[in-house]
Amino acid sequence: MRFWSDNTASACPEIMAALAEVNHGRVKAYGVDAWTARLDGVFGEFFGTEVKVFVVATGTAANALSIATLSPPYGAVFANPEAHIVRDECGAPEFFSHGARIVLVPGPGGKVTPNGLQAAVEDNPPTVHTVQPAVLSLTQATEFGTSYRPEEVAALSDVARRYKLKVHMDGARFANALAFLVCAPAEVTWRAGVDVLSFGATKNGALAAEAVVFFATSLVRDFELRRKRAGHLISKSRFVSAQLLAYVETGVWKRNAARANELARRIGTAGGGALMHPVEANEVFLRLGDARKQKLRAAGFEFYDWASERSGEARFVVSWDQPEEDVTALCRALAAS
């Protein structure tokens, strides 16, 4: 019973069907195909505004390319210390941006707070001797499985605007956040001040498909060139675009995310006092102690230690394809231990 991560999941039937469906004939490569052509329209409807959409194969590429388009090489990017761009991308933002610096802004539940952001920016006053404040990067849902409310995003964007920062949102688990918040996609993105969104599908049922959604469309030519230059312009683009179309149009994004969230919620409830963060997506963090962790593992539950082996903390991620009986068994085991 594996609760490692949602990127260990399989691809869902709608996605596989979409691949099969577009797999015929010779069509132009590198994004000049009929499916890619539909992306702007489909995502525009999803977000209720004009957008420019680009597809890539990984979330790291989506994040780092977005940041490189928003920040000069001498820029500062503000993010929570737990953010994927900080801990899990081997310095991809620095690579793509040619050396921008990530400035850490700690905050509870893996979130950036307006006060924290303001303090961090003020601590980096833009003289010629310092990196220049450029980007705020938020993770939605966060690495701790919490979700920013629309008004939280808006408040952060307000601070960002005051200092002329662009706002990037890492939405590797965007669907999970949406499913939890039950709000329109627009409300937590462009209406709340987001300029560019990494819109993930891979973790929630796609095979390998991420969209970069530009609400501020003036920057897109630079993005296109950076994407090509980084080897992220997929030649047989129809196969990635088709995944994203299916993901949005069939509503599978919502079905998969809502299911995983609900199962995660049950685990959180079963965790009781051990719960470290509110469950607002498909991740559950529990402070179990080594003995309980060992016991769970002996019972066949597989999950990652959080932060370190010695912390006594554990992370459980529910995938879209998680068997319900795994979750039921885990809840029972947690209650019993």
- Closer residue to a second copy, CB minimum distance, 46 or 247: 247
CB of 181 to a second copy, least distance (A): 25
CB of 2 to a second copy, least distance (A): 4
CB of 57 to a second copy, least distance (A): 5
- Closer residue to a second copy, CB minimum distance, 19 or 331: 19
CB of 262 to a second copy, least distance (A): 18
CB of 25 to a second copy, least distance (A): 6
Q: Residue 227 is which amino acid?
A: R
Q: To which residue do tokens 């501020």 refer?
A: 216
CB of 48 to a second copy, least distance (A): 28
- Closer residue to a second copy, CB minimum distance, 130 or 294: 130
- Closer residue to a second copy, CB minimum distance, 273 or 310: 310
Q: Residue 216 is which amino acid?
A: A
Closest CA to 57 of 293, 181, 236: 236
In angstroms, the CA 141 to CA 253 distance is 14
- Closer residue to a second copy, CB minimum distance, 94 or 152: 94
- Closer residue to a second copy, CB minimum distance, 8 or 294: 8
- DSSP letters along 178-224, please? HHHHT--GGGGTGGGT-SEEEEE-GGGT-SS-EEEEESSGGGHHHHH
In angstroms, the CA 226 to CA 54 distance is 12
In angstroms, the CA 56 to CA 237 distance is 9
Closest CA to 77 of 58, 56, 97, 59: 97
In angstroms, the CA 213 to CA 186 distance is 12
- Closer residue to a second copy, CB minimum distance, 89 or 313: 89
Are the C-beta atoms of residues 156 and 112 closer than 8 Å to each other?
Answer: yes
In angstroms, the CA 173 to CA 9 distance is 14
Closest CA to 105 of 59, 136, 128, 74: 136
Say what angle helices 252-271 and 238-249 make with each other, to 10 degrees: 70
- Closer residue to a second copy, CB minimum distance, 233 or 276: 233
Burial (Cβ within 10 Å: 0-12, 13-18, ≥19) of residue 34: exposed
CB of 117 to a second copy, least distance (A): 17
CB of 128 to a second copy, least distance (A): 5
In angstroms, the CA 268 to CA 277 distance is 9
CB of 334 to a second copy, least distance (A): 19
- Closer residue to a second copy, CB minimum distance, 308 or 336: 308
